Structure 1
């Protein structure tokens, strides 16, 4: 039976206790639990959409940006997609108990290194109800409890989603305290979560650069940093026109409010006359405002003059910066200066430039001749994602089930002592 609690610490203590049960669930039991979660979310579609409409209405009244409104919005097809992602996660291999290393030491002591759950995974995010479901599903599948702080913008939506998932746990006779939300506690809940060292084992922030910076600098809990996406696409001199036009439009327009959307386009000077006019026209036809340097403005109409701030801007909107570069060296130098090490891409038919770009550009994902929109846990086959890590320790790139596990060394002896 669920216990009514009022403080963040009490909720996190309940999650810690529940994590011990979750960590011992068998592979098949975890699959059954996630299937039940998906069914419960689908069954609550109407209520979830109604609560989401209230959040959207309040967000518009409070000046929530178009990009965040898009992230916040849930309709019936998006709810169905959330449930489908949960089912996909259920069918993934169990990341717990994998044998990672084996050896014998000390004349007969058998060592085995195995993957184990973290215990309690926390997440702080904003206006992203899909994260509520994705992280809960991934946490449970990897044997973890989860504590969520999804922000006031999506509070009613998140409450409906968490309620549906906790009811599914009850129906499966699993402790519902394994899924906790701190949304109703406001900023105090976020602060308490960041200070919950010993109760929460790892914290994953998702959201604006400001939110992520706040969590990274203020948290006492170990953090996996999911950085902002100042994403570049380089159009090399040899780039095919059809590839360049299709990739650029897809990377910018398909969903401009997400972190893998392109924000800056760098065009090789030798391709500028050929490709800048048509690419700018394609983007403008889709409602994109192009912020260009003088070279871009000289080759296309209705270009907004780019400022220095544009090169570091994560627009998350129908805006893009465009600059002419002298060569591949100039492009890589620009990326090194402004990249957030999320996703970087090049369009080229020069194999040597492609391999050089792959080798020299430092980012979580480096792409040749494809849209940056592929940087996604679902597209990578993870079912869903915890986030896209831009750091280098523990996890980098789209994070799935294995990134929510740690390791344990098991030593089995027979009266052995160290000489």
Structure 2
């Protein structure tokens, strides 16, 4: 067990030591294991590609909409804030927040739904398992190993930040046989913080992007209780609040309210559990990091609003259907003709139509940005475009 040096006093239930890495490496005397993990994630190719991966709006629809990259940075900021208040390891929470979307394919949830359907007979597609695959196999930067060789705690958090995994995706099951991530238990409080930070950022920033896109108005959003209170506070503080600043003022207050609620509810749960160490967090009967009951209801109301008014909006639906079609055609062409894959992928794919080809093509497509997927689609379908 390696002690992780820190200048910030941690709670007893925080992650304090690492179980190490699958491939033994000398520890860095100037960085904790989780600072090192964070740095490796930031320098990875998969992280850079998030810049051109859809959150909701495809990249060419505007420069000011969120991408997977900006979303991940925003999640990391919220995660660090929560981890600091709860006296957890901020660097581990940040590393998990930055890595949690590495496995997302192009075109957001539309791309994932398409890829999952295409790979159903081969075990399906799960972006959480794909994130783990990126950091344990697909990244190829180091001479001594594939992947990033992250610490056990970071891999554990990637695998089960949403709770115990009862039915692991195929790759997660295979990897777990090599390095046991204890899939039947909860993850650390740091991983749970990253998961709640994702929920907070996702809902609020989709609201702001939907407002920017003109899918609904501030007053329509303020029909919900929590945004209504936040907007009233903003207008009370700024009686002459300009219309173009009402949305960000409202959203930032909702985010602050959610962070406070998670911190307070988590402190209540920790007081009741009185965990002596991180193992008590993992063995707990329920997550320790959570919204309170009233905020869970408010968050569910926001999520339902977004499903009805944004994710099912005809403009988003049209883009989603076109995106799914791109993924479907790419998969069908490359699975049936792996000889069209770039050299490094073709060598892995094996025979056309085989399970090995399906997994390889799934990995290839999952790593694409929106922009690259559209370019590859044109290369494979338009006879006037060169290969």
TM-score w.r.t. the length of structure 2 is 0.30
Report the structure, 1 or 2, having the larger strand content: 1
Q: Point out the structure with max Rg over C-alpha.
A: 1
TM-score w.r.t. the length of structure 1 is 0.28
